[in-house]
Structure 1
């Protein structure tokens, strides 16, 4: 198993919990079958490692008591160890093994939490530049996650879409406020500057290895591509556009239309949904459009799920 695969496993402690129960059950089976003790007891160490990683977020007392239980079960299978020095040595060895496993997992999760905090900070820094678009990134992320869940995407894919939604407009930090906050219609030259923000955002975060590997960079770079190929910056079309970017595109448009902007008031919900439906297969992926529209009860807007 390479380092990347191991880190991906560490992001899913439930695997290690299941592994712990499996290894412990396997230990009991080996004992019943009277397998050699030196082969049997090595699995107790593996079980302890899995236990520490799988239950890293539980209280210290839970971890200590449970590890002691593992030691007790091991001692029941080896009466030769029934003397004080051996018991204490086993207890210390297993507690240290558990503590190292817990420490590795907590360190990994802290890095993950720190990355999310950084993303949130960048998102808030962007939204704070314009009171009219405050919470835009958060809204887009929330809408996109609802679409992704409706599409039954994996937890990992949903996490990427969540983070990609928070960062999708990060490149606008590099756009002058004279253009970004202009109350009137943009000139062609000003609009060309605005259209650079996906590439600017990409260049800002392209050195973050985690963003490269999980697809967040693709969302930032391609969220203004259109399904019919008339978008920017590269004019990709159809399935050439990454799935996450296609989802963010419709969430981005929805929030932009239903939010008050410096140059216009918000558009009512039904008109927004009608406009999005009209652009099915043009600006938006037709399948994702259908999923998005299914989140709303068009006959009773108060029961809509996404807003």
Structure 2
């Protein structure tokens, strides 16, 4: 249910069109149907709903726009619903009451967007701080987050997962903060012991942020912990296989690998873009989820005539 409401709040156009639809329904019901069916005047609830949708759908608009929309709704109600002792005072009372409802709806939506933006800004700052440890991996987290989000949209995933994938992509290597810097920037081949330390970064990252309850509930922890799992079960740290790996982690795993291949590292130059795409296709069903690979390839094919994926 929470995800349902989050998806709705991310579809501002739903509330914009909903406002006009509810206002139209209110007018039609009161003009055409109410006299025939002899309903009580409880149909005013549609007018109240319309100003709620007005506040949410147009929360970015200046206050005079919201006041004008509210006045239109109140005027329609005033002339269509006959009430005892109806007069200018009644109209003013309704206008004030309805505008308060609009204003509260607008305030709640603005607060929701402010919290959402604040979370992303904080996560981005953490990702930038981590990436700054190595100039060659600068922007890696942002690149992975961006590509992961594009893949999620290509797969038509529910909208509430977009923010999860974006924030999880930004935080996916936060565990490397616990890996010694000389290992991260080592130019030669890693020893077995050093590679073992590198492989611990998903668990380290998980332990760093596991106490943030919202990350646990929405799936960000799954991305941090499982983005190095493989579809064939040969990944780490848990050796999960196939559908046992959370979908959000499977998406970030592909984006992480693609960005690593197409970026310069201390131990090699960046790989050719076509070669990187070939490798992704080659490991479809082994290292990567086939459905995620298919979405990535469709995305890549569409971008061949425009901007690249970097």
TM-score, length-normalised on structure 1? 0.89
Matching of residues 1-307 of structure 1 within 5 Å: 6=5, 9-31=8-30, 32-33=32-33, 34=35, 35-36=38-39, 38-78=41-81, 80=83, 83-297=87-301, 303=306, 305-307=308-310
Distance 1:59 1:226 in 2: 50
Q: CA contact under 8 A between 2:3 and 2:160: conserved in structure 1? A: no
Unmatched runs of 5 consecutive residues or more in structure 2: none
Q: CA contact under 8 A between 1:296 and 1:304: conserved in structure 2? A: no
Q: State the superposition RMSD in angstroms.
A: 2.5
Q: CA contact under 8 A between 2:41 and 2:81: conserved in structure 1? A: no
Distance 1:5 1:289 in 2: 27
SS for the counterpart of 2:281 is helix
Alpha-carbon shift at residue 37 of structure 1 (Å): 5.2
Alpha-carbon spacing, 1:265–1:85, altered in 2? closer, same or farther (3 Å):
same
Distance 1:155 1:5 in 2: 9
Deviations 1:87-116, CA, capped at 9 Å, x for gaps? 221211111121111111111221111111
TM-score, length-normalised on structure 2? 0.89
Q: CA contact under 8 A between 2:6 and 2:160: conserved in structure 1? A: no
Alpha-carbon spacing, 1:228–1:128, altered in 2? closer, same or farther (3 Å):
same
SS for the counterpart of 1:295 is helix
Query: Size of the alignment, in residue pairs?
Result: 305
Distance 1:303 1:68 in 2: 47
Q: CA contact under 8 A between 1:297 and 1:303: conserved in structure 2? A: no
Alpha-carbon shift at residue 212 of structure 1 (Å): 2.0
